[in-house]
Chains A and B, each alone.
Chain A
Amino acid sequence: MALFDDNIRKQLAQILDGLKNDVHVVFFSQEIECESCHDAHQFVEELCAINPKLKMRRYNLVTDAEKAAEYKVDKVPAVVMLDKDGNDTNIRFFGIPGGYEINSFLGALLEVSGERQELPEDILKRIQKIDKDIHIQVFVTLSCPHCPGAVITAHRLALENPKIKADMIEANTFVPLSIKYNVSGVPKIVINGEHELLGDQPITAFLDVIEKI
């Protein structure tokens, strides 16, 4: 049975019409011990089928271990987004981007395709000045309306600076990781494993923390 009904598919098609260039959507899953992998696969497959600019590739975490290592994917289900030239944007989605997160997924697709919202000059300068390795993990749940905002901000940072990596992590899918970072309220933003932000913080709040690292 199809995941998206006709109404939603029409809306998605309209939104995806805004894609500028191709986006390579690289999907990782595994056969056993991954409850959400089947649904995640269906989600990504059906969505990519809506617009020819979305090129989907599928790998298995176990049997395609070198690919997993290449894209630094250590858990599934995972989506890696590459730009039209196959370059890694360092944008990751771990878990199914359903619920409210479909918005951050679509947002990422559009931005990676080249359809970027304008950022103020001074913010862009601050992002480009960052020269340390930064890993941002944004913990979300699918029923959290404020979460996509934080994910979109984190992914935008990753897009503008190759030193920055940003992950959306669905908290209920990756429970040991959520426990490790004491996630009890979302969105929870963890930077380089130790600096925390809570809530849909503006990009300046992210930068304030990153610049102090």
Chain B
Amino acid sequence: MDFNLSSSLFVGEQKFNAFASDKIYDVIIIGGGPAGMTAAVYCLRKGMSTGLITRQVGGQMADTAGIENYLGYRYINGVELADKFHDQVMQFGIDFENNTTVKSIKDGLYKEVILDDGRIFKTKTIIVASGKLPRKLNVPGEKEFTGHGVTYCAICDGPFYKDKKVVVAGGGNAGIGAAIDLARIATHVTVVQRRDRLKADKVLVDKLKHFDNVEVLLGHVVREIHGSTTVESVAVENRETGAQIDIPADGIFVEVGSIPNSELARGLLHMNELDEIVIDAFGRTNKEGIFAAGDVTDVPYKQIIIACGDAAKAALSATDYILSNPNF
């Protein structure tokens, strides 16, 4: 029998408080993934009064199964690594808000962070580390069957497709990673990739070739998802010829990239054409006192270790800004 004891859920060292609306924070961090949590540790160690708001502790990392390229751990499960980060943050006294999303932010000498539930908090600086959310296919049937055969989390739902047929939409690392895991469990896996080649790392593509129950359809897109109470088939189309195939499937795993959670800064912060927040080498945005780090920014590569590095920079920049600002 296996046990996955969470290191952070119970230990008495959990010192955190609820957010206060009558105080002015030094730093409010938006996002509790690897970037947000790294920024928190740096700010707290500098003695900054810090608050962190997150939708889910661990962010995208908590939905990831195996991590092999975060140094110090040859292989670690995403939730466990998130747990360890969380543990490290919680040893300091931090104001913490979980299962919460931020609606928007306002500029000024003192910035404002406005939550979805209407609460407003004031702060000298903001670090936006809100990451990304999985992109949807936006095809008929997707919404109706979400939770009934349409899923965005291979590690959560893979086991339910034992001895079943599945489709994986997406040929990048996430898609091929999911396909490999599923090939071991399902009777058949069909990978649907819009481009004419797989985007995933060679290591993964080679691994996939070892399975004889996997079919890869290059140059195809998902057009519709059919079924009665659960998914029964996925209609795909050949982009070149227009020919349609109906793939019998009990489930479809959607791994087609992600969109930045930058809506909260729309109109305020400068963004690129992908809606990512533009930052400089110091983690600064176009607005003084507002910084950003991680997948929500225009950093060229989206990796946990990069998010952490950028978050440390943003935190140190925020600290420098506060200490050198004659107004504070």
* Chain B residues in 8 Å Cβ range of A185: 147-148, 151, 153, 156-157, 160
Contact present for A102 and B5 (CB under 8 Å): yes
| Chain B interface residue count, Cβ-Cβ cutoff 8 angstroms | 31
| Secondary structure type dominating chain B contacts | loop
Chain A stretch 180-213: residues in CB contact (< 8 A) with chain B: 182-186, 188, 196, 198, 200, 202, 204
- Residue from the set B3, B146, B230 with the largest chain A CB neighbour count within 10 Å: B3
> Does residue A52 face the partner (Cβ distance < 8 Å to B)?
no
Find out whether the CB atom of A143 lies under 8 angstroms from the CB atom of B10: no
Is A110 close to B, CB under 8 A? yes
A182 engages B229 (CB within 8 Å): yes
> Inside 8 A of A110's CB, which chain B residues have their CB?
10
- Whether A145 touches B79, Cβ cut-off 8 Å, given contacts A184-B230, A185-B160, A202-B99, is yes
Would you call A143 and B18 a contact (CB within 8 A)?
Answer: no
- A184 to B229 CA separation, bound complex (whole angstroms): 11
Indicate which residue in A11, A145, A184 contacts B5 across the interface (CB closer than 8 Å).
A11
Residue contact B3 to A141, C-beta cutoff 8 Å: no
- In the complex the two chains form, is A188's CB within 8 Å of B3's CB? no
Are B149 and A99 in contact, with the CB atoms below 8 A?
A: no
Distance, CA A103 to CA B159, complexed state (A): 21
When the two chains form their complex, are residues B148 and A99 in contact, meaning their CB atoms are under 8 A apart?
Answer: no
Interface mask (B127-169 → A, CB under 8 Å = 1, otherwise 0)? 0000000000000000000111101010111011000000000
How far is it, in angstroms, between the C-alpha of A99 and the C-alpha of B77 when the chains are bound? 13
By a CB distance below 8 angstroms, the chain B residues around A96 are 1
A145 to B77, Cβ gap below 8 A? yes
Tell me if A141 and B149 are in contact (CB < 8 A): no
Q: Is the CB of B2 within 8 A of A182?
A: no
Contact: A145 with B62, CB < 8 Å? Answer: yes
Contacts of B56 in A (CB 8 A): 200
Find the residue from A8, A146, A188, A202 having the highest chain B CB count within 10 A.
A146
Q: A99-B4, A186-B157 are in contact. Are A146 and B9 (CB under 8 A)?
A: no
Also in contact, A142 and B148, with CB within 8 A (given A184-B157, A186-B156): no
* CB atoms of A103 and B5 under 8 A apart: yes
A103 and B6 within 8 A (CB): yes
Asked whether A106 is an interface residue with its Cβ less than 8 Å from the other chain, the reply is yes
A176 interface residue per 8 A CB criterion: no
Q: Which residue of A lies closest to B14 (CB)?
A: A117
Given A145-B79, A185-B157, A186-B157, does the pair A103, B229 have CB atoms closer than 8 Å? no
B91 to chain A, nearest CB (A): 16
- Chain B residues within 8 Å of A144, by CB: 156
Kindly state the separation between the CA atoms of A137 and B30 in the bound complex, as whole angstroms: 33
Which residue on B lies nearest to A103, using beta carbons?
A: B6
In the complex, whether B59 has a CB less than 8 A from a CB of chain A is no
Indicate which residue in A100, A143, A184, A204 contacts B148 across the interface (CB closer than 8 Å).
Answer: A184
Report which B residues bind A (CB closer than 8 A): 1-6, 9-12, 18, 56, 62, 77-79, 99, 146-149, 151, 153, 155-157, 159-160, 229-230, 251
30 residue pairs A–B, Cβ–Cβ below 8 Å: A12-B5, A43-B1, A98-B1, A102-B4, A102-B5, A103-B6, A103-B9, A106-B9, A107-B9, A110-B10, A141-B159, A144-B156, A145-B78, A145-B155, A145-B156, A146-B62, A146-B156, A182-B229, A183-B160, A184-B147, A184-B148, A184-B157, A185-B147, A185-B156, A186-B156, A186-B157, A188-B147, A198-B147, A200-B56, A204-B99
Question: What are the 9 tightest A-B residue pairs by CB atom distance, in nearest-first order?
Answer: A145-B79, A202-B99, A198-B147, A15-B10, A100-B4, A185-B157, A103-B6, A98-B1, A102-B3
A8-B5, A11-B5, A100-B79 known; 9 other A-B pairs, CB under 8 Å? A12-B5, A103-B5, A144-B156, A145-B62, A146-B62, A182-B148, A182-B229, A184-B157, A184-B160
